[in-house]
C-alpha cells in the first residue's frame, strides 16, 4: 500500500469533516463506518426535527438569536435555507416566521443540541480517519 503524503492526509481529513457537517454521519459513511453513520444521522436529524416540531421554523432566527443560530448551523449548512423561510403578514409584507414562549425556547435548545451532537460526530469522524480506523471509500482494498 502506498504511503500518503501529509498533504493528502490533511485533504482527506478536511473532506471527512466537510462531509460530516453537510450530512450528519456523512464523514463516518465516507470511512465505511456505515452503522455508526446511520445511528448518527437518525439521532441528529430526529433531535433537530423535534426542535422544529416543538418551536416551529421560527426558532431559527439569525439576527434575533445569533448564539443559538451558530449552534443550529453546526447541524448542517441547510439550516441557512430554513432561516430564509418567509410568510406574509396581514399587511401583505414578507416577514419571517415568529415563535414565542416555552415552545420557542425548547425548540431552540433541541436544534442547538443537534448542532452540538453533530460537532462531536464531526470530531469523531476526523479522529477515526486520522487514526486509520475504518477504510476510505475508493481505497485500494475495494478492488
pTM, two decimal places: 0.80
Q: Which sign does the torsion angle of CA 133, 19, 57, 120 carry?
A: positive
C-alpha cell at 12: 482527506
The owner of cell 451532537 is: 117
Angle at 117 between CA 49 and CA 82, to 5 degrees: 40
Task: Give tens-digit pLDDT for 53-66.
Answer: 998 888 888 888 88
C-alpha 140/C-alpha 1 separation (Å) is: 8
Which tops the pLDDT comparison, 142 or 9? 9
Task: Give tens-digit pLDDT for 111-125.
Answer: 999 999 999 999 999
**DSSP single-letter state for residue 142:** G
The owner of cell 430564509 is: 84
Amino acid at each position: 500500500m502506498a504511503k500518503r503524503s501529509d498533504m493528502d492526509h490533511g485533504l482527506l481529513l478536511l473532506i471527512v469533516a466537510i462531509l460530516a457537517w453537510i450530512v450528519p454521519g456523512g464523514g463516518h459513511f465516507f470511512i465505511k463506518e456505515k452503522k455508526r453513520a446511520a445511528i448518527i444521522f437518525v439521532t441528529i436529524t430526529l433531535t433537530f426535527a423535534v426542535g422544529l416540531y416543538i418551536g416551529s421554523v421560527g426558532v431559527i432566527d439569525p439576527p434575533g438569536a445569533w448564539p443559538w443560530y451558530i449552534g443550529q448551523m453546526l447541524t448542517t449548512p441547510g439550516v441557512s435555507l430554513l432561516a430564509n423561510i418567509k410568510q406574509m403578514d396581514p399587511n401583505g409584507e414578507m416577514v419571517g416566521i415568529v415563535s414565542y414562549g416555552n415552545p420557542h425556547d425548547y425548540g431552540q435548545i433541541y436544534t442547538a443540541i443537534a448542532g452540538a451532537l453533530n460537532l462531536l460526530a464531526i470530531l469523531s469522524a476526523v479522529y477515526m480517519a486520522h487514526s486509520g480506523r475504518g477504510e476510505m471509500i475508493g481505497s485500494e482494498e475495494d478492488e
